[in-house]
Structure 1
């Protein structure tokens, strides 16, 4: 397995001010990349996440902007396409905004990148949830060749699959060296509750389950468990995810798809118990009925192909990852609070 080689590379990270993107940028800078171009419209991210480094070239705006696309350099070595319209609930509330920021972003970016002939690899952030079996029975690890349903719970899931389909087209017909990296449930430092602009629902603030639970647990609040917390997910620490993306870029086969997963199934109730223990939260959990839109049930990702083909294995166990994320949240409490409170007037109007 050859070594990761990003030394002196010119790299584009679309969505590089976001949670995963900013962690990836930090890893790339450690690899002595010559230049990292970040394109981000800060729709669901905060400028504080952009590393202060002379090698970082931050370009504010959507990747669908023709001026931004036209100004991309012709000497790009690697591209990581991580931008999205964050969250299932936001996409349900506004499918057109999801199309603008999830589907059109992929199409316009791939159309531009097909003209750049020296590209070594383009990595697309795909969604493991879009192909996972919908079950509350015993979960089986989702393989990369799992069948894809035509019935989905959210526009977000649909648009992430469309991105894969467009990626397949541009690889097959234009030779774009595109690799699909299917995310599981990423968590960790730099995921900022409330970052970015109001997107129509409280999920603008209360995003993924892990940062929401940590924030509430630090405030000694009850953690809400939909359907008793019996759903399960594959939680992967963000630094592992950043390494996995780099493995996909360095070793992934163009046209290929790879799970970036821990391979460990954790119920939401178990997650709540770990977070409450780490934060010292003694408030009993809040048991609630199932969400009416969500039929995703239990799931986790298979890790065999990624281990064997691109040399990626997640290293950070969930208890260690949660401890590190709690520590980061404590250290950045003021910044997170600022981002949450910028939406107070919208929340009050609901």
Structure 2
């Protein structure tokens, strides 16, 4: 039986990936290393927590003892989602981002190398490339030019992963995705923030002029891509994963309000965020050509289903926003 160690598997994307993989591969075994921090929601594991091929180890990727417990499970591959990921938090507390994203990744890499894992997939972000002007796309060859402590810490972890491939021949692959969305995303992120506030008829803060552009990717499409990279991705390579759904923040908020039947007057412009990148857009042609992946869920379809899920998730939102989900 093949075993995969997933870090951050109680988080939004990590939990979706575990659920996707256990459903697709009945003989696969998943070990989940997650510290259950504020965004590591145990409710996210509800669909698979009792699966016979799933085991959760509560642990921190910066703690060598916790990592050793995970690798004692004799895993064949690693998919590394665990990270501090919120830009606003990184601006107010950058040291934690460096500790988790850079040092934690280093400790995980070294343990994986010593364990002789066959594949290490490092999940990164398009934010490491910095900001684009009105034209063009990020490719895998775009220079790294991070503009926030979060993106700088992710760029640092990417370079650490690259160094292990170059120095040790370690079988690591890097993926860089555009903005993910979907059900169960922690409410600090833009889309769930807009939905939860609109449901309560609260003001929705919009940074600056609202014209910052993001490329949106449904979490299900992202999980499909990571599965392909895990199985078929070439060690030492970088694969950009983008939805090709570019939209500015104001338009996105208005789309969500329209789906909820709420007035655009709920939008309140607030001072812009420090280091706010103007535009992200990914060229995913490499993963199209080499691995045969393309996004399947359009933005309107994905937003409609996401809004519908949150509209029925009052108890989930209450537990998240009040902190009462922490029953472990």
What TM-score do the two structures reach when normalised by structure 2?
0.92
- Residue of structure 2 equivalent to 1:204: none
2:173 equivalent to 1:192: no
- Equivalent in 48, 66, 70 of residue 43 of structure 2: 48
- Residue of structure 1 equivalent to 2:89: 90
2:13 equivalent to 1:20: yes
Deviation of the 1:54 alpha carbon: 2.0
Superposition CA RMSD, Å: 1.7
Q: How does 1:288-303 map to 2 (within 5 A)?
A: 288-303=269-284
- Residue of structure 2 equivalent to 1:224: 205
Deviation of the 1:268 alpha carbon: 0.9
Q: How does 1:3-152 map to 2 (within 5 A)?
A: 8-30=1-23, 31-43=25-37, 44-50=39-45, 51-52=48-49, 53-71=51-69, 72-73=71-72, 75-117=74-116, 119-135=117-133, 138-149=134-145, 152=146
2:295 equivalent to 1:314: yes
- Structure 1 residues 270 and 33: CA distance shift in structure 2, 3 A: farther
Supply the distance in 2 between the matched residues of 1:95 and 1:101 (Cα, whole angstroms): 10
- Unaligned 5+ runs, structure 2: none
- Structure 1 residues 295 and 332: CA distance shift in structure 2, 3 A: closer
Q: Matched residue of 1:299: which SS?
A: coil
Q: Matched residue of 2:209: which SS?
A: helix
Q: Matched residue of 2:114: which SS?
A: coil
CA contact (8 A) 2:21 2:28 kept: no
Deviation of the 1:210 alpha carbon: 0.8
What TM-score do the two structures reach when normalised by structure 1?
0.86
Q: How does 1:266-281 map to 2 (within 5 A)?
A: 266-281=247-262
Deviation of the 1:160 alpha carbon: 0.4
Task: State the number of aligned residues.
Answer: 318
CA contact (8 A) 2:201 2:266 kept: no
Q: Matched residue of 1:234: which SS?
A: strand
CA contact (8 A) 2:130 2:147 kept: no
Deviation of the 1:283 alpha carbon: 4.4
TM-superposition CA deviations, 1:114-150 (whole Å, max 9, x none) = 1122x33211011101104343xx132111111223x
- Unaligned 5+ runs, structure 1: 1-7, 194-206, 344-350
- Structure 1 residues 156 and 277: CA distance shift in structure 2, 3 A: same
